[in-house]
Amino acid sequence: MDAATLSSSTTLEPLFAIMAQALNTLESTFHKLPGSAVIQRYVRSSHQNDPGRTLLELLLVIFAIRTLLQSRTRADRKGSHFIKFEEKEINELVEEWVPEPLAQPLTPNEQADLGVLPIISGPNGPRPKLLATGKTALNLASLNFAGLAGNEHIKQLAIETLRKYGLGSCGPPGFYGTLDVHMDLERDIADFLGTEASILYSQGFSTVSSVIPAFCKRGDIIVADRSVNFAIQKGIQISRSAIRYYDHNDLNSLEEVLQQVEKERKKRRGPLTRRFIITEGIFARDGTMSDLPKLIELKYKYKYRLILDESYSFGAVGRTGRGLTEIYNVPASKVDMILGSCAIGLAAGGGFCAGSQIVVDHQRINGPSFVFSAAMPGLLAVSASEGINIIRSTPSIFETLQENVRAARSILDKVDFITIPSHPASPMIHISVKHTPLVQPASAGLLSPASAALISPTKHAKDQMRQEYEAEERLLQEIAEECLSQNVIVTRAKTLKGQEHNEPKPSIKLALTAALTKKETEKAVGVVKAACVKVLGRRR
Amino acid sequence: MAVSKPTTPSMFKKKSGTSLSAMASAASYLSALSQADARARGALNGSPTSTPALSISSSVTSSSQDTVLHEEEDYSDGLALPARPPTSEQVFKTVHTEFGHCASEEFRLTSQHTPGEPVPGHVDADPPYYILFSTYISYLILIVLGHIRDFLGKRFRSASYAHLMPKGGYAPLNSDFDSFYTRRLKTRMDECFSQPVTGVAGRTILLLDRVSPDYNHTQLFTGSPNPRLEHLGQGGCADAVEESIKRYGVSTLGSRLEGGSSDLHTVSEALVAKFVGMEDALISSMGFATNSTYIPALVGKGCLVISDELNHASIRFGVRISGASVQMFKHNDMESLENLLRESISQGQPKTHRPWKKILLIVEGLYSMEGTLVNLPKVIELKKKYKFYLFVDEAHSVGAMGPQGRGVANYFGIDPRSIDILMGTFTKSFGAAGGYIAGSKTIIDHLRVHGHSGPYAEAMTPPVLTQVVASMASIMGVKAPLPAPSSSGLRLSSPAPLALEYEYVHPGPAPHSSLPSWLSLPRELSDGSEGSTRLRRLAFNSRYLHNGLIKLGFITYGHPASPIVPLLLFNPGKMNMFHTMMKDRQTPIVVVVVAYPATPLVTSRVRFCVSAAHTKDDIDTVLRACDEIGDVLDLKHGIPRSERWPIEQITERAVELARMMK
Ligand SMILES: Cc1ncc(COP(=O)(O)O)c(C=O)c1O
């Protein structure tokens, strides 16, 4: 035994010598290599002369190289469903295959709607000119709540910005696209709402569908209102989180869902995951308003984070247009993420997400449409900043707006045949057809389409529902066109039929503005009323 | 990472003499043009901080403070003033910092495919093994160190890790695993990213120093993917935009289908369709959203999307939302594409083997990270055989490629209508924002109604639309109106007498009637001469830089005609150093460095984006800088030493070099 070890160590000695020499030559050649100094310095500084770790790292290198060398093969190719074909068979199959057309032509109704789309000639605003007739009309379709459109001061600033910065920013925010005016606007928004920070996106619509996947990952839980807007639906879809819906604007239902989720989690004993409540301030599809204090109470109670889309409430409600946090007088910091649109609220462009510094910084690297899209044009950022300046210093804007809203509601609430789901303070008013046996002849007595959908309808019922939908839509379109012919621009709430989660009820969407006087508003809404009565009354 | 600033100036001194020779002439140049300068200054409110650059521009430029230069600054860096003074008969209408002065007709090329010449695919050039090895090691070290720091940090400095740990029943907002890359790798090179800027980004850019916000640097800018076909802030386009703000205001208030449509949209969409040579087009207010909201309206369940593996995130976003199945093929590899097509068509849908409803191939015209040009001739050939639909994202190629700047189809001399859908953005070549989709009327109308943006997303704003119209018109040129009976110009509302309408032929000049009547462009824009000069300058600059870098011995990717020239660095540590060394030069150069996850792990790179605004001298400067830095950082692993050219030879034989095929 002893002799064996002895001899082996003596035989190994020359081997060690050779190895030492080899190492030496290796080292010297390494030094001769250009750039080796850099590597050496780099290795030395990051590596603390720990031999054990070198071994570990080497192993990891080998592992890394191996995984990288393994070609990425598609998984299903060798799956059990793969059928092996001869070349000739493939050629035949290719020959035979007939694809569907890329896009179906529009249906006559769609075509007609597109044809009568009001197109504004010249500047849009409260009293624009219609391209088709050349007549001036009162505008209840365009979103201009605070009446900032056409503000001469904003225009002047925009021109100055144009001269200084050019129009487009030159790249994504991470690559020299961030201008100082973007940072100014982010600061202005955060300051206005009272959050730590905010982040700008270059389109309002793409904001929320980018914010959600930045935070909600696979395995996380989202509890959302059943009737959230389309952008939120898409954000949820792309996040791949587990999704639970609660009944529209029903916080008791929300609490039930929260309790249920909690129960399930306890049963599963899963790890702690991120949980989010996603809802809107004023709902885009019907103008109802969330009860923010109650939402915040629930969020704290069940330890959720709240993502609140204020696209239609920022710059629209509250004493100075701050949105729901101002109406309910809750600190904005209690909402984890407030999303808003500078295009809707400030008549400029883009959207934002306001929240804590951590929330904002996280998005700067993880928000898909922030990272991979060019920053918004500088002049739009400046216009938005000035918009904030104006609304925060002019509370009378929102007094006028509320006065107009009250005036409009007092006219509309009296009209038969229609229902208005919107909150009395919402400057966006949705009008839908009241369900009467006349509009809904066959399935009279049945529930409204939304709730009927829950009872998994038969095909026949489904068809019938679609027909009802179409009939309602046609009536509303008739109303809109009737208004247009009276020089009041009104639009049906356009939706993506067949693509929405929980199809919204067809409606006409009025967007009131502080730029119209009370008289004008009354006149315009009067025309809407008359049109409703005329079109719906005719049915009777 | 051990990244130290180069503190040894001697290292660079030996060659900087060449660039210093310009000093004397710069001084003479200054005096020679002081007169013209004074004239220009007269129009500039005499602001002391305004640029002393040449603005003999006829247009009124009220506040051109785009380049805040310090009075005492010397001009030897060639940024504010050209190194070689122009002669007295050369009149430049642009500001040199924005759009470099380059009068020599030599430095022009036409961006065009030579028929019959093979389209280079994407070749992965391999560096020596020790580079690869050290790159892996670097990442490893970073990863290991990062984990150790996380491990220790969470235990001993929990306050700064609070947001990564569960707290009070809340899971952390970003799990440490997800954010590991950003925290441990990206933050190390943060100085290369997210640098805020101010002023007009053109040939040069003004960086805002994040440490001391009042000290700005002007730097030669190669970072923007913006071929700068029109100059911003100044000149005809900006005048048009100003006019549009006065006329239209800043916003059109609402979505296209709900009261946000204006006549300007109609006009712009028609012009875009003409520009790209399609029947109809629609415009969306954001490039990213153009893909992410319109692709789902094209494909859905039961459809297959075949997508290049390096397609942009917006395409992937859109495809994922659409619910269609996706298959990827190897980047720009036509063989891989054909195999995939054969396999997918023959196999049909997974499990059921039902035939696919339709197959949509999505490729980019010019890839933003690789600079590769799609092999369009081959794709069209495959399309005929395999009957798939073709969607080409021309974000980077529209307005930059082709003899008339109409994109890849123009470059290859292919009829655009043999492509089903052309998508592009206005962010790059047109200096605007947003994107378009062009195709047949049926498809576009379908998208108008069924695309997500139609009812929900804000419409594009008037200033942006005007920028698009004006810059497109300046590339196209405008066909003078035929003698019209009414002198008031053509009103949009009243259709012009059709007999007088000029029949548009692609890719010809824009008919006068296709522009808003109030839009008046200066002559050099409306006759298209300036646009064409710019296109040819861009083509020259692209090829010159690309071939120059190759001749210096660097590994580059991409098509030589592409304005995007990626230079491979491999080692992540070199990114920071390259960036810093470029920035610290006498003529500071701003570059964009990109690394994982935007690129594969090993192929970190610097991405040069040349612009028509750069002059040949600028490209020389960049090449010279790369030459020196490349030696220091050991970056030259391309062609063998014997085939390389010294930098002097490259700059002297630039014209020959640019015309050389790869
Ligand atoms: C191929 C491609 N598509 C779309 C986009 C998005 O364009 P935008 O920056 O205008 O949103 C980009 C931008 O980088 C791109 O490279």
Residues 338-397 of B with CB under 8 A from A: 341-343, 345-347, 350-351, 353, 355-360, 385-389
Say if residue A243 is in the same domain as residue A373: yes
Is residue A170, in this structure, part of any structural domain at all? Answer: yes
Residue B286 beta carbon below 6 angstroms from any ligand 1 atom: yes
Shortest distance, CA A257 to any CA of chain B (angstroms): 18
Task: Tell me B182's DSSP state.
Answer: I
Q: Is A158 exposed, middle or buried (0-12, 13-18, 19+ CB in 10 A)?
A: buried
Say if residue A312 is in the same domain as residue A461: no
By the CB < 8 Å criterion, does B595 face chain A?
no
**pLDDT score for A440:** 45
**What does the block give as tokens for A428?**
């966006």
- Beta-bridge partners for A341: A351
Residues 435-464 of B with CB under 8 A from A: 442-443, 445-450, 452-458, 461-464
Say if residue A335 is in the same domain as residue A202: yes
Is residue A84, in this structure, part of any structural domain at all? Answer: no
End-to-end CA distance of chain A: 112
Q: Residue A481 C-alpha to ligand 1 middle, in angstroms?
A: 38
Closest by CA position to B328, among listed B318, B317, B316 = B316
**pLDDT score for B39:** 40
Cite the beta strand spans of A34-132 per DSSP E.
Answer: 120-121, 129-130
Say if residue A195 is in the same domain as residue A161: yes
At A289, is the pLDDT very low, low, confident or very high (cuts 50, 70, 90)? very high
- Beta-bridge partners for B511: B479
If you measure CA to CA, which chain A residue comes closest to B146?
A46
Instruction: For an interface test with B, give the residue of A140, A145, A170, A336 to mutate (most B CBs within 10 A).
Output: A170
At B187, is the pLDDT very low, low, confident or very high (cuts 50, 70, 90)? low
Say if residue A143 is in the same domain as residue A193: no
Of A120, A122, A158, which has the smallest distance from its Cβ to B245's Cβ?
A158
Is residue A136, in this structure, part of any structural domain at all? Answer: yes
What is the rounded CA–CA span in Å between residue A521 and residue A519? 5
At B94, is the pLDDT very low, low, confident or very high (cuts 50, 70, 90)? low
With a CB cutoff of 8 Å and minimum separation 6, the contacts of B42 are none
Say if residue A204 is in the same domain as residue A263: yes
> Residue type for B39, please?
R
**pLDDT score for A257:** 94
If you measure CA to CA, which chain A residue comes closest to B342?
A90
Q: What mean pLDDT do residues B625-632 have?
A: 89
The answer to whether the CB atoms of A494 and B249 lie below 8 A apart is: no
Q: Residue B133 C-alpha to ligand 1 middle, in angstroms?
A: 33
Say if residue A206 is in the same domain as residue A331: yes
Final residue in a domain of this structure, among A393, A419, A438: A393
Cβ-based contacts of B634 with chain A (< 8 Å): 33-36, 38
Give the least confident one: A1-5, B13-17, B448-452.
Answer: B13-17
Could you tell me the residue range of the domain that residue A241 belongs to? 152-393
> What SS3 state is found at A234?
helix
For each of the domains in chain B, give its residue range(s) and CATH number, in order of start. Answer: 20-103 (no CATH), 255-476 (3.40.640.10), 530-658 (3.90.1150.10)
The answer to whether the CB atoms of B445 and A47 lie below 8 A apart is: no
Of B233, B259, B263, which has the smallest distance from its Cβ to A142's Cβ?
B259
How is A323-384 classified by DSSP, letter by letter? -HHHHTT--GGGSSEEEEEHHHHSSSS-EEEEE-HHHHHHHHHH-HHHHTSPPPPHHHHHHH
By the CB < 8 Å criterion, does B259 face chain A?
yes
Residue B135 beta carbon below 6 angstroms from any ligand 1 atom: no
Say if residue A466 is in the same domain as residue A333: no
Of A53, A142, A231, which has the smallest distance from its Cβ to B254's Cβ?
A142
**In this model, does residue B505 exceed pLDDT 50?**
yes
Residue A374 beta carbon below 6 angstroms from any ligand 1 atom: yes
* pLDDT tens by residue, A11-69: 566 667 777 777 777 777 767 666 666 666 656 655 555 556 667 767 777 777 776 66
Is residue A39, in this structure, part of any structural domain at all? Answer: no
What is the rounded CA–CA span in Å between residue A279 and residue A208? 11
Is residue A55, in this structure, part of any structural domain at all? Answer: no
Q: In total, how many domains does chain A have?
A: 2
CB atoms within 10 A of CB A270: 10
**pLDDT score for A350:** 92
**In this model, does residue B488 exceed pLDDT 60?**
no
Final residue in a domain of this structure, among A359, A393, A427: A393
Final residue in a domain of this structure, among A393, A416, A443: A393
Enter the pTM of the model: 0.81
The answer to whether the CB atoms of A155 and B205 lie below 8 A apart is: no
Is residue A135, in this structure, part of any structural domain at all? Answer: yes
Residue B624 · residue B647 · CB < 8 Å? yes
By the CB < 8 Å criterion, does B629 face chain A?
no
With a CB cutoff of 8 Å and minimum separation 6, the contacts of B279 are B273, B417, B438, B439, B440, B441, B444
The better pLDDT of the pair B582, B99 is held by B582
If you measure CA to CA, which chain B residue comes closest to A342?
B458
* pLDDT tens by residue, A467-498: 888 888 899 999 999 999 999 999 999 888 88
Shortest distance, CA A41 to any CA of chain B (angstroms): 7
Q: What mean pLDDT do residues B357-384 have?
A: 92
Say if residue A352 is in the same domain as residue A454: no
Q: What mean pLDDT do residues A383-392 have?
A: 93
Q: Residue A169 C-alpha to ligand 1 middle, in angstroms?
A: 13
Cβ-based contacts of B593 with chain A (< 8 Å): none
Residue B287 beta carbon below 6 angstroms from any ligand 1 atom: yes
Q: ipTM of the predicted structure?
A: 0.82
**What does the block give as tokens for A359?**
């929330």
Residues in chain B: 662
Residue B435 beta carbon below 6 angstroms from any ligand 1 atom: yes
Shortest distance, CA A489 to any CA of chain B (angstroms): 8
Residue B510 · residue B526 · CB < 8 Å? no
* pLDDT tens by residue, B235-245: 578 888 999 99
Q: Residue A340 C-alpha to ligand 1 middle, in angstroms?
A: 23
**pLDDT score for A451:** 47
Say if residue A355 is in the same domain as residue A218: yes
Is residue A459, in this structure, part of any structural domain at all? Answer: yes
Closest by CA position to A353, among listed A306, A392, A320, A284 = A306
By the CB < 8 Å criterion, does B87 face chain A?
no
Cβ-based contacts of B163 with chain A (< 8 Å): 358
What is the rounded CA–CA span in Å between residue A423 and residue B275? 47
What is the rounded CA–CA span in Å between residue B328 and residue B304? 11
Is residue A274, in this structure, part of any structural domain at all? Answer: yes
> Residue type for A302, please?
Y
Say if residue A131 is in the same domain as residue A204: no
**pLDDT score for A481:** 92
Cβ-based contacts of B293 with chain A (< 8 Å): 205-206
Residue B312 beta carbon below 6 angstroms from any ligand 1 atom: yes
Say if residue A384 is in the same domain as residue A428: no
With a CB cutoff of 8 Å and minimum separation 6, the contacts of B583 are B219, B589, B590
